Structure 1
Amino acid sequence: MSLFNIFNISGSAMSAQSVRLNTTASNLANANSVSSSVDETYRARNPVFATALSDAQGNYRGNSLTNQSQVGQSAGVKVMGIVESDKPLQIEYAPNHPMADGNGYIYRSNVNVTEEMANMISASRSYQTNVQVADTAKTMTQRLLRLGQG
């Protein structure tokens, strides 16, 4: 794997963690939302990640230098999509609430604020770690270039 491929890998990881942070922010913003029907109620969303390394290894044939460089090029993280949580909604009987349905019920989001805060901290730390990986790779590349100078 080339040293330059590290930037692609850590960049894809930072992009994936950015998506994770955005979905967590959306979940937290809608944690206290209320609706008058099950279909309109906000449901927690979570990103689905997949490794791109298996795709890269499928392209690898033999030991030539061109094939080895292909392995590192597509290694990283892919965001496969964002799925809604299947946890049950919070149903509350509040007949005087302006959003209550015909039976007097309101429907609250299924977002767990504590779980979302843990996700936010984890995504933030993962993002920071990948920034450090990219910075270390940059430093190594600069030192490698200085070897040729003197």
Structure 2
Amino acid sequence: MSFDAIYSTGASAMRAQVMRLDTIASNLANANTVASSENDAYRAVKPVFETVYQQTETSFSAQVNMAGVVQTDRPVDQRYEPNNPLSDADGYVYYSNVNELEEMADMMSASRSFQTATSVLNRVSGMQQSILSLGQR
């Protein structure tokens, strides 16, 4: 694997984690939103990633691409709040299905993955600097 391929793979991994953090931020921002119907309630979203491998005669690379975003299938939280201005005719309001604890754990995992990709790229840069310094001796 060439240095360019390593940089490209590391950069795609970092982009994937940024997209993951974006969906987490969206979920956390909408964690306590209320709707007047189950269909209008916010549903947590999760990114779906795919790995794309490319191989030529002289090199091999892997990229992480975002295939899309899917809504979670966890049911929304229905609560009886007849005094809420958004309550339906039966007095129910519908809260998002975001699990804040799960989102925070996912955020920590995405952050660590981003740090790992950064560490890999820093090490590759250090290797390149070492190779360049060999020519100066």
Unaligned runs of 5+ in 1: 61-66
Q: Percent identity?
A: 50
Residue of structure 1 in register with 2:12 after alignment: 12
2:58 aligned residue: 68
The number of residues matched between the two structures is 137
Runs of 4+ in 1 over 3 A off after TM superposition: none
After superposition, where does 1:67-106 map in structure 2 within 5 Å?
67-69=57-59, 71-72=60-61, 75-106=62-93
Whose strand fraction is larger, Structure 1's or Structure 2's? 2
The structure with the greater share of residues assigned to helix is 1
Deviations 1:44-77 (A, max 9, x none): 0000111112xx24xx4xxxxxx232x22xx121
Q: Which TM-score applies when normalising by structure 1?
A: 0.87
Q: Secondary structure of the equivalent of 1:76? A: strand
The aligned residue for residue 38 of structure 1 is 38
Map Cα deviations across residues 102-132 of structure 1 (whole Å, 9 max, x no partner). 1211000000000000000000000001000
TM-score (norm 2): 0.95
Tell me how large the CA RMSD over aligned residues is: 1.1
Question: Counterpart of 2:42 in structure 1: which amino acid?
Answer: Y
